[in-house]
Structure 1
Amino acid sequence: MKTIFDKTAREELINRISQVSENNHAEWGKMNIFQMLQHNTYWNGWILGTDPHTYRQEWLGKLFGKIALKSMIKNDKPFDKNVPTSEQFKVKARTCDLESEKAKWISLINAYQNFDNPDFIHDFFGKMSREQIGILAYKHTDHHLRQFGL
């Protein structure tokens, strides 16, 4: 199973991120390319703990989070299209500096090489093992790159 903690998997994702351009359009979902970039830089910063975050599991996640996580990362199957996003990850801005945001995202992907965020608690899935985080982070990145044909 692919994981963000594997150097080869990170390099593959970075090569795909490098191909992002203003000409990419969503094949599903409501985000434009700029919102997708900002969503991913924020999301990965949240996982990595690069900015101050409050980590806590939502009540619905306490009921169904572990079951949903197990289902999502049990095999190499990519995430389904139109998986709902938590409110905190919905980006309102319609544009950004594309090259700067790509560079930031690539830097965050590279930061997984030294991952150390013992405080991380997913808002829906709850406390996760390093292995679970690695698979989820890979699949999340892959999902959004596929969303834009990359």
Structure 2
Amino acid sequence: MQSLFDPTSYQEILSRLEQLQSDSARQWGTMDASQMLWHCQGPLKISLGELKPDKPNVFMRAMFSLFKSSLYNDKPWKPGLPTSKEFVATEAKDFESEKESLAKLIEGFHAKRDTGSLPPHPMFGDFTMPQWGQMQYKHLDHHFRQFGV
């Protein structure tokens, strides 16, 4: 499984990000490219400790634990998966500023590759560093495929 901590995968993701255009057509879903860029920043901010959404109740945490491993395994995510309400883009976003912000977060995340640990995820709990890297790669790959890059 590819990881955003791997230098080759990291460069691939940055290259694909660069290929994305404001008018790139989505293959599924409702977000436009600018909203997708904004959406992809949330999970990176969580991993970097920059965003701390409310923890779900015990029932929801138990539900999340059932599919935790699907976040970082080698199977691509299917189109149209639900997302947390905090990451649903409901208003227009500026493509260039969102693209720049996402690139900086990707770089910041990659820079953490040798730190040993990242904060627990508020919904899924602890991840190992390899799991964090795989999950972040998988999320970006999912949305870049959504827009054909």
TM-score (normalizing by structure 1): 0.85
Question: Quick check: 2:53–2:122 contact (8 Å CA) kept in 1?
Answer: no
1:1-150 map, 5 Å: 1-49=1-49, 51-54=50-53, 56-74=55-73, 76-96=74-94, 98-115=95-112, 118-123=118-123, 125-150=124-149
What is the CA–CA distance in structure 2 between the aligned matches of 1:52 and 1:43, rounded to whole Å? Answer: 8
Structure 2 unaligned regions, length at least 5: none
Question: Quick check: 1:24–1:33 contact (8 Å CA) kept in 2?
Answer: yes
Question: Quick check: 2:45–2:51 contact (8 Å CA) kept in 1?
Answer: no
Return the letter of the residue paired with 1:113.
H
Question: Quick check: 1:37–1:105 contact (8 Å CA) kept in 2?
Answer: yes
Cα distance, 1:106 vs structure 2: 1.1
Cα distance, 1:35 vs structure 2: 0.7
Return the letter of the residue paired with 1:95.
K
Structure 1 unaligned regions, length at least 5: none
Return the letter of the residue paired with 1:47.
S
What is the CA–CA distance in structure 2 between the aligned matches of 1:39 and 1:31, rounded to whole Å? Answer: 9
Question: Quick check: 1:55–1:122 contact (8 Å CA) kept in 2?
Answer: yes
% identical equivalent positions:
30
> Alpha carbon RMSD of aligned pairs, Å?
2.0
What is the CA–CA distance in structure 2 between the aligned matches of 1:69 and 1:113, rounded to whole Å? Answer: 22
Cα distance, 1:83 vs structure 2: 1.0
1:68-115 CA distances to partner (integer Å, 9 max, x unpaired)? 0223433x221111111000111122231x222211111111112332
What is the CA–CA distance in structure 1 between the aligned matches of 2:140 and 2:63, rounded to whole Å? Answer: 23
